[in-house]
Structure 1
Amino acid sequence: MHSVSTSFPVGSQSLAGTFAIPETGVPGVLFLHGWSGSQDSDLKRAKDIAALGCLCFTFDLRGHAKTEGLRDRVTPRENFEDALAAYDQLVSHPMVDRSSIAVIGSSYGAYLAPLLSAVRPVRWMSLRVPALYRDQHWERPKGKLDRTDLTMFRDQALAPAENRALAACADFRGDVLVIESERDDYIPHPTIANYVTAFRKVRSLTYRVIEGADHGLSEPHMRRAYTDLLTGWIREMVLGAR
């Protein structure tokens, strides 16, 4: 905190005043949506979190929204590059404190989030129903991956050394929120367990299950439950650290 002296007129008088100015900016929050989603699913939560005193950034991954025509060609590597560019866009804002960045990912976006943390500073990370992919899928079109093969892969117990996303989790040292949907028909519990187990060096790990929820949070009460969990965690971890 530093002070800047000023004066301002009132009638015929000039009064002295002092601005108390923070040395750092506000926390920055990056949202990464899931496959077949868009930033629209994050906008309401981004506004709620912005109201707490954060600067939030949402965007559409390639292959979604206006670039949906690329859906059958875009690869995880290319979407990772999207996430990297979005991160750099967020921290370029003059109000953002670059040492206070949170990444909030859902499903496919929650797979990209740990990979992003391996190459950019991330202090807080929230992963809702994080997906998992074979390392060999990195350069393959995401929309053409074999669903049966993915289901078999996600039912396996995997160590961090066996997957690049889990390896990134094992190296992460910030605070983490992992959220599972009780009735998820895409991401089985073993995948969630792989993520939770991989976070070995974190400052804190919060794990929650949304009772009765499906993968996409199709009902309003499921979405409210997620929003409440997320905003409560942001308030405790991100704002609490200020």
Structure 2
Amino acid sequence: MRPLLLSLLLFCSAFTQAAIQTREMPYTGPDGTQLIGYLAWDDAIAGARPGVVVVHEWWGLNDYAKRRARDLAALGYSALAIDMYGGGKNTQHPDDAKAFMSAAMASSEAAKERFNAGLELLKAQPQTDPARLAAIGYCFGGKVVLDMARQGVPLAAVVSFHGALATATPAMPGSVKAKVLVEHGAADSFITPQQISDFKTEMDKAGADYRFVELPGAKHGFSNPDADAHKGHGLDLGYQKAADERSWADMQALFQDVFAK
């Protein structure tokens, strides 16, 4: 019984030690801006696995973006929540968020370079298979990942959760290499019906492989349980558990598809 008991104890010890690991990853943008990423992975998985970039909401690289990186790690991915603002800064006030976002998006080329700096950091990690990459984004981050797809960044898939759809640089025929999934709240007052129509027309003309999902009754921010806390600023936001779970399941199905090939 003693050898069996010892084996059992060793197994249990190894099991309990295996867990989601996280690490802050300082890196430098092409313009010299100091950025801080947040890497998450499951150390119970041996070898490289697909990598997913997470792009934060307009609030900045906060706990929610980091939580989503951990959620992806729990699904078996190497996930990096990147920093689009610099210094890992974040806020809870919409005026600050608007200023941060406006500065980050002042130049589409600079935004692409900052995204790519994070992507290269993720690719360089030993946990990441650099040939299997995707990106997800929330709100502001949803627009970022859609713009990366428009500009032909080599990703297998991008997923936008309650992201902005309008762009000053629409996709050209053949430019979109990634499969595109848009998870949109049907009650999102931030996005107009015309913007939805324009986005679909743009994707059709570009020949993109995309799917646009409208989630009944869901408002902007539907995936974030903290969304309701921002209503005090007069923002039409709201968490919806059903939409959160449905959109996350849709993302998983897409990743299983693109990474199985």
Per the alignment, residue 199 of structure 2 pairs with 195
Distance 1:197 1:26, change over 3 A: farther
d(CA) in 2 for partners of 1:133 and 1:199? 12
Determine the C-alpha separation between the residues in 1 that align with 2:79 and 2:101.
29
CA distance in 2, matches of 1:183, 1:209: 9
How many residues are aligned here?
191
Aligned counterpart in structure 2 of residue 96 of structure 1, from 119, 128, 146 = 128
Q: What is the rounded CA distance, in whole Å, between the counterparts of 2:239 and 2:173 in structure 1?
A: 26
Task: Tell me, yes or no, if the aligned pair for 1:129 and 1:192 is still in contact at 8 Å.
Answer: no
- Residues of 2 paired with 1:43 and 1:237: CA distance? 21
* Residue 175 of structure 1, CA deviation: 1.9
Q: Which residue pairs with 2:246 in the alignment? A: 229
Q: Please give the residue correspondences for 1:72-151 in structure 2 after superposition, counting only pairs within 5 Å.
A: 74-76=103-105, 77=107, 78-117=110-149, 118-132=151-165, 135=168
For structure 2, the 5+ residue unaligned runs are 1-6, 8-46, 230-237
Which whole-Å deviations, capped at 9, do the CAs of 1:73-131 have from their partners, x for residues lacking one?
72412444322211111111122122211111222222221332325311111112332
The structure, 1 or 2, with the larger RCO (C-alpha pairs under 8 Å, 6+ apart) is: 1
Q: 1:223 to 1:122 in 2, by over 3 A?
A: farther
Q: Quick one: which amino acid aligns to residue 34 of structure 1?
A: E
Mark the CA change 1:44 to 1:71 in structure 2 (over 3 Å): closer, same or farther. Answer: closer
**Letter in structure 2 aligned against 1:112:** V
Q: 1:169 to 1:108 in 2, by over 3 A?
A: farther
Amino acid at match of 2:211: T
Paired residue type of 1:108: F
- Return the alpha-carbon distance in structure 1 between the equivalents of residues 214 and 67 of structure 2: 21
Which residue identity is paired with 1:45? R
Contact preservation (8 Å) 2:218, 2:243 = no
Match of 1:42 in 2: 65
Task: State how far apart, in whole Å, the 2-side matches of 1:169 and 1:228 are.
Answer: 33
Relative to 1, partners in 2 of residues 1:53 and 1:209: Cα closer, same or farther, differing over 3 Å?
same
Q: Match of 1:5?
A: none
**Moved beyond 6 Å, runs of 4+:** 67-70
Paired with 2:101 and 2:179, the residues of 1 have a C-alpha distance of 35
In structure 2, do the counterparts of structure 1 residues 36 and 235 end up closer, same or farther at CA, with 3 Å as the change threshold? Answer: closer
Aligned-residue identity in percent: 22
8 Å Cα contact 2:152/2:176 also seen in 1: no
List aligned pairs for 1:205-216, cutoff 5 A: 205-216=210-221
Q: Give distance in 2, aligned partners of 1:110 and 1:234.
A: 13
Aligned partners of 2:252 and 2:156: how far apart in 1?
Answer: 14
Residues 85 and 104 in structure 2, CA contact (< 8 A), matched pair in contact too: no
Give the alignment partner of residue 26 of structure 1, picking from 45, 49, 52. 49
Partner of 1:178: 182
Aligned partner of 2:135: which letter?
Answer: V
Contact conserved, 2:152 with 2:177, CA < 8 A, in 1?
Answer: no
Q: Structure 1 residues 38 and 134 mapped into 2: Cα distance closer, same or farther (>3 Å)?
A: same
User: Is contact 2:189-2:220 (8 Å) kept?
Assistant: yes
Alignment partners' CA distance in 1, 2:79 and 2:173: 23
- Is contact 1:27-1:101 (8 Å) kept? yes
Rounded Cα–Cα distance in structure 2 between residues aligned with 1:169 and 1:223: 35
Residues 28 and 101 of structure 1 are in contact (CA less than 8 Å); yes or no, is this contact kept in structure 2? yes
- CA RMSD, Structure 1 to Structure 2 (Å): 3.3
